[in-house]
Amino acid sequence: MDLATCQRKLLGLFRNAYSIQADEDAYIREVAQSKELAEGRKNIHLWRVYVLERTCPLTIGLLRRRKLLEETLDAFIMQQNISPFRETQGPAFLERMGRHDDPLLASVAQFELALMKVRQGDAGSYVIPWNVEPHGVLHSLARDVSFPDDIPAGDYEIVVSGDLPGQLRISERLNCSVDANGE
């Protein structure tokens, strides 16, 4: 087996994304069954959780509340080529979560990523849509307290920009409908 193939298989084993074939090389088979590989995977997982808890506390908190953290993090490790530099891990994770099927999770991740960028000096302005009133959600995630019993649904947006006081503005979006007469 050439070096590149060996390295790809080892990386696949670490990510838990490679299945051993019937005619597998003895070395790869040995590594796949080793307790050292299991320990390495565990350490990688714990390190990712540690870094993401500190860089993406709102999104990680919501994933924990919804009991999705383990499966989401496992998928992220398996499918994403994660940089060893922790400064890039949070933004990469938030970008992925910002496309999540769950609208609340996507909004929280997009908000957290926009805030991260602006705090690092990004001059951009970001508009994040929300389908629920965001104040209570953000308060409960930031303080790690339970969500309000009834989160009001609605059409809201958060604008994140360095030009705003406190770097953000939360507002309800107004849906203006115009009838056939232009009224």
The 10s digit of each residue's pLDDT in 89-116 is 999 999 999 999 999 999 999 999 999 9
Is the pTM above the cut of 0.75?
Answer: yes
pLDDT of residue 78: 74
Give the C-alpha distances (Å, rounded to integers) separating 128 from 9, 19, 21, 49, 179: 40, 40, 45, 25, 28
pLDDT of residue 177: 47
Owner of token pair 């908190």:
61
Residue 96 lies in a domain: yes
Q: Give the residues of the chain that fall short of pLDDT 70.
A: 175-183
Residue 3 lies in a domain: no
pLDDT of residue 91: 95
Domain count, the chain: 1
The Cα–Cα gap between 128 and 104 comes to 11
Residue 14 lies in a domain: no
**Which of 137, 83, 85, 84 is closest to 112 using CA atoms?**
137
2 near 28, Cβ under 8 Å? no
Residue 1 lies in a domain: no
Residue 82 lies in a domain: yes
pLDDT of residue 175: 64
Q: Domain limits at 146?
A: 34-172
